[in-house]
Structure 1
Amino acid sequence: MATMKDIAKLAGVSTSTVSHVINKSRFVSEEISLRVTSAAKELNYYAPSAVARSLKVNRTKTIGMLVTTSTNPFFGEVVKGVERSCYQKGYSLILCNTEGDNERMRDSINTLLQKRVDGLILMCSSLEGERLDIFESYPDIPVVVMDWGPMLFTCDKIQDNSLRGGYLAAKYLIDCGHKQIGCITGPLTKHQAQMRYEGYKRALNEAQFEFHSEWIIESDFECEGGYQALKKMAEQGALPSALFVSNDMMAMGVINAANELGIAIPEQLSIIGYDDIHISKYMSPSLTTIHQPKYRLGQAAVETLLRKLDEKTLEPQVVQLEPTLVERKSVKRLDS
């Protein structure tokens, strides 16, 4: 019967490299992986099954992830970071879509735990404020929650500094000479939306600017919400000179509504968004926005989860990633 040593000799690599390719325990280049798998086939080598390995080491090398459905590409960009990191670390990813349904979310968590995943990454806004007793039955399964508010169960958290991001957005508009600045928020029951709005208010308070309630509209983080919010604001009277829109998807809807209303951006209305999704630079005009490190959010979630698997005594931690400003063409400078 062929051994890994035989494969290594035929493929011209080390035995440890053969082990990494067969067990998917470390990233190996595509060229070397092909050489190893070709040598294994030629020698009729049969690797131990994943089930057999998992029983031996008490690891399935599998991570489960729950995501809320949304048209927002933000979620897909974060999942890409999770999936790529899992692959590089030799893990498989099982992705479940909750459709925003709490019952489906609980069923999916239960299914993933029964499949003996090594850990869970949760990216579901419906989790905020939820107590999930099921985790008490699986105390050794680490859980990482991404970018939502306070949790009522033990977990690590990866989050964007939304307060800082909202402040950066409004401060940039102020620094560009704008004094009449409105805000289209996300649902203020959600932690992210509330923090971005608080950051906006902090910047305006610092500048001692007056708040106008007709220029602050709560919406839903989707394109249609941004579209309807600008229409509503325009119906209420004169518009501000600039708007902080709390995510890029709503900003897209705002730009669409502005075009229909004959409002030129940025000549008549400046807009700054939030997230820096991939398509934001292809909007017309290209969108000035606050960059969230989406790929890094996904990567940090996997790294945190694997660290918790290796060091089970670690206390729950919060990993906070900092937003940055991306200047494009949707904000007019009044100070020049």
Structure 2
Amino acid sequence: MATIKDVAAQAGVSISTVSHVLNGTRKVSDSARLRVEEAVSRLHYAPNSVARSLKMNNTRTIGMLVTTSAHPFFAEVVQAVEDLCFELGYSLILCNTENQPERQLMHVRMLMEKRVDGLLIICTDTPPALQALLQQHRQLPLVMLDWSRESNIADIIHDNAHIGGYLAGKYLIEQGHRNFACISGHLTKGTSQLRLEGFKKALSEVGLTLPASAIVEGDFESESGYRGMQQLLRQKSPMTAVFAFSDTMAFGAICAITQAGLRVPQDISVLGYDDVNMARFTSPPLTTISHPKRTLGRWALELLLKRIQAKDHRQAQLELTPRLVVRDSVCPPSGRE
């Protein structure tokens, strides 16, 4: 395996000149740079990234904690982050936590041992033990996405979940619906509470209320949407429209409605949240609230890099604005009211 000394000998320059060419740390004449690049190519030289990172005090590596990259929402955010990392010459170490506190702590410690330049966190749970560990290492640049609302150690990016819930309720009302049900996410989560508050606000503006029995708590996964919809159907509720707090739960709800011999949207309209790629290809295509996932991922990485590069970086909190995407899973009520 070729060494930097071999490259220097082949190019007829000093080792320091080779280092400056490879790291861009000092201007080198065009002829010397060309000879070094030709020698690197001819010898198939691969720089020692560990040694270089120790010398430069950076690894050009980003760590990312995510609940599960198998979930469509998280997968699309991760894809956006990875794409921008590739464009900018960074490596990404992705860690799935499954919301298990011990895995979260283990992954954070591992990423610190790997000397990542910064950390992105998009987890539905950030328990006290994780917050305490991050507080101990607050010198590590950190951006938290979507779920967290307050932090004195991280930049935060989230969507305006209240507006998203409001848009959902307003659209269903405009379509003529008066009897609703919700399949929420965990109601201990701020995001779920805000979506529910926004939905209720839209109803209150026209004198409507949402009974407690019409709210079924899910966990943002399709299985909980399926079970939640079954529960609502057993109640023989007069609902004509269901607002699911994630597209994956909406998919589960549609499955349960269909299995019960009912039609979407003719018998029950279904409105989701997130606008994952699959939403366009369900039957019927899903009307949903768009959560700009690629923007979320790219903003997060751009903000993290600013935090890495600017030692006097001032803490920031950015907010994305959701929007309604109309497809075919909602129509005016027919005869179930």
Given that residues 128 and 150 in structure 1 are in contact (C-alpha distance below 8 angstroms), is that contact kept between their aligned partners in structure 2? no
Q: Does 1:286 align with 2:285?
A: yes
- Counterpart in the other structure of 2:231: 232
Instruction: Look up the match of 2:109.
Output: 110
Q: Note if contact 1:221-1:247 (Cα within 8 Å) is conserved in structure 2.
A: yes
Equivalent residue for 1:77? 76
Q: 287-296 vs 206-215, which deviates more?
A: 206-215
Structure 2 match to 1:301: 300
Q: Equivalents in 2 of 1:117, 1:241: separation in Å?
A: 50
Decide whether aligned partners of structure 1 residues 244 and 137 sit closer, same or farther in structure 2, where only a CA change above 3 A counts.
closer
Partner SS, residue 265 of structure 1: coil
Which amino acid in 2 is paired with 1:317?
A
1:268 corresponds to: 267
Indicate the residue corresponding to 1:179 in structure 2: 178
Q: Is the 8 Å Cα contact of residues 166 and 199 (structure 2) preserved in structure 1?
A: yes
Secondary structure of 1:243's aligned partner: strand
Q: Which residue of 1 aligns with 2:53?
A: 54
1:110/1:139 Cα in 2 relative to 1: closer, same or farther (>3 Å)?
same
Match of 2:62 in 1: 63
1:185-241 CA distance string (max 9 Å, x none)? 111011211111111111111121132233221111111111111111111123311
1:119-156 C-alpha deviation (Å, 9 max, x unpaired): 00011122156563333443321111111134555111
Q: CA 1:136/1:273 → structure 2, altered by over 3 Å: closer, same or farther?
A: closer
Identical positions, percent: 42
Change (3 A) 1:242 1:23: farther
Change over 3 Å in CA distance of 1:58–1:193 after alignment to 2: same
Would the aligned equivalents of 2:141 and 2:154 in 1 still touch at CA under 8 Å?
A: yes
- Equivalence map 1:9-28=2 (5 Å): none
Mapped contact 1:66–1:96 kept (Cα < 8 A): yes
Which deviates more, 164-173 or 128-137? 128-137
- Deviation, 1:42, is 4.5
Alignment partner of 1:127: what SS?
A: coil
Does the C-alpha gap of structure 1 residues 71 and 233 become closer, same or farther in structure 2, counting only changes over 3 Å? farther
Contact 1:289-1:325 at 8 Å conserved across structures: yes
| CA distance in 2 between partners of 1:42 and 1:261 (Å) | 65
Q: Distance in 1 between matches of 2:209 and 2:136?
A: 52
Q: Distance in 2 between matches of 1:80 and 1:268?
A: 36
Q: Which deviations, in whole Å up to 9, do the C-alpha atoms of 1:39-95 show, x marking residues without a partner? A: 565432635321232123211101111111265211111100111111111110011
Moved more, 102-111 or 146-155: 146-155
For the Cα contact (< 8 Å) 1:185–1:219, is it kept in 2? yes
User: Which whole-Å CA distance do the structure 2 matches of 1:52 and 1:194 have between them?
Assistant: 48
- Which structure 2 residue ranges, 5 or more long, are not aligned? 1-5, 12-20, 25-35
Q: Which amino acid aligns with 2:213?
A: E
Cα shift readout 1:280-334 (whole Å, capped 9, x = no counterpart): 1111111000111111111111100000111121222111111111110001035
Cα distance in structure 1, aligned partners of 2:127 and 2:78: 19
Distance 1:121 1:280 in 2: 26
The corresponding residue for 1:325 is 324
Q: Which residue of 1 aligns with 2:131?
A: 132
Q: Is the 8 A contact 1:131 1:153 kept in 2?
A: no
Aligned mates of 1:271, 1:109 — CA distance in 2: 39
TM score, norm. by length of structure 2: 0.85
Which runs of structure 2 are paired with 1:245-264 in the superposition (5 Å)? 245-264=244-263
Task: Name the CA distance, whole Å, in 2 between partners of 1:105 and 1:208.
Answer: 45
Give the match's secondary structure for 1:125: coil
**Cα deviation, residue 267, structure 1:** 0.7
Q: 2: CA distance between counterparts of 1:151 and 1:289?
A: 27
1:179, distance to aligned residue in structure 2 (A): 1.5
| Larger Rg belongs to | 2
Distance in structure 2 (CA, Å) of the matches to 1:226 and 1:327: 20
- Corresponding residue for 2:315? 316
Equivalence for 2:31: none
Report the secondary structure of 1:189's partner residue.
coil
CA distances 1:220-269 after superposition (whole Å, capped 9, x unpaired):
11111111111111111233111111111110111111111111111111
How many residue pairs match? The answer is 310
Task: Give the corresponding residue for 1:162.
Answer: 161
Partner Cα separation in structure 2 for residue 283 and residue 323 of structure 1: 21
Q: CA, structure 1 residues 163+58, in 2 after alignment: closer, same or farther (shift >3 Å)?
A: same
Alignment RMSD: 2.6
Instruction: Report if aligned partners of 1:132, 1:153 keep a CA contact under 8 Å in 2.
Output: no
Q: Which amino acid aligns with 2:90?
A: Y
CA distances 1:148-185 after superposition (whole Å, capped 9, x unpaired) = 13455511111111111111111111111212222111
Shift of the 171–130 alpha-carbon distance from structure 1 to 2, 3 Å rule, reads farther
